[in-house]
Amino acid sequence: LTGISLNGVNGLTGQLSSNAGDATTVPSSGGTLVTPKIRLSDAAANAASVQAIQGYSFTTANFGSTLVGTRSYGAVGAHAAVAADRSVFTLLGAASDGTKYNPIGRIDYYTVNTQSGTNAGGEIRFLTTPVNTLVPTLSATIRNNGDLAVVGAISAAAMTLTAPLPLSSGGNGGTS
């Protein structure tokens, strides 16, 4: 579909497809190949493909655009709490090898406890795909208390730090 307009305003350029005639698959957060339900792409060859989420506010309040991934156990209209250690939202980057798309990196948002009205602990996991593999592996985690856990060795030669560098004392605030 091209030339879609919403409320009389042309809000979409390029292509919006439901994959009619397009059998391209992409890796899911679980690693299996799936056909996307909706694809936004630029119609021109050799052009940047950029999709923007743009919001407007008639006040000076700090409202920005938000991309939200949600998860609920149960069925539509019958929400149930999500258990601990469950993926809620994934941002995945994949590059084509000429035949299929392979995952190169991923950011996962996970629960750390069973969710409740007063307890919504979560963490963010960063995965990268090592050379000569096709499987993203855990590289770092920002834990629910703000701690950063890095997988593997960290060498001074691999890091460039610029002063001043605020360091957390392991909680939410404070410096050391």
> For residue 141, what are the CA distances in angstroms to 71, 75, 154?
20, 30, 14
Per-residue model confidence as pLDDT tens digits over 13-62? 444 444 444 446 667 767 677 776 666 555 555 555 556 666 666 666 66
The DSSP 8-state label assigned to residue 8 in this structure reads T
pTM for the model stands at: 0.68
Three-state SS annotation for 109-173: EEECCCCECCECCEEEEEEECCCCCCCCEEEEEECCCCCEEECCCCCHHHCCCCCCCCCEEEECE
Q: What residues form DSSP beta bridges with 111?
A: 122
- Please state the rounded mean pLDDT for residues 143-164: 75
Per-residue model confidence as pLDDT tens digits over 60-97? 666 667 778 888 887 777 889 999 999 998 998 888 88
Copy the structure tokens of residue 144.
């629910």
Q: Return the number of other C-beta atoms located less than 10 Å from residue 83's C-beta.
A: 11
Residue 158's pLDDT is what? 62
Of 123 and 101, the structure prediction assigns the larger pLDDT to 123
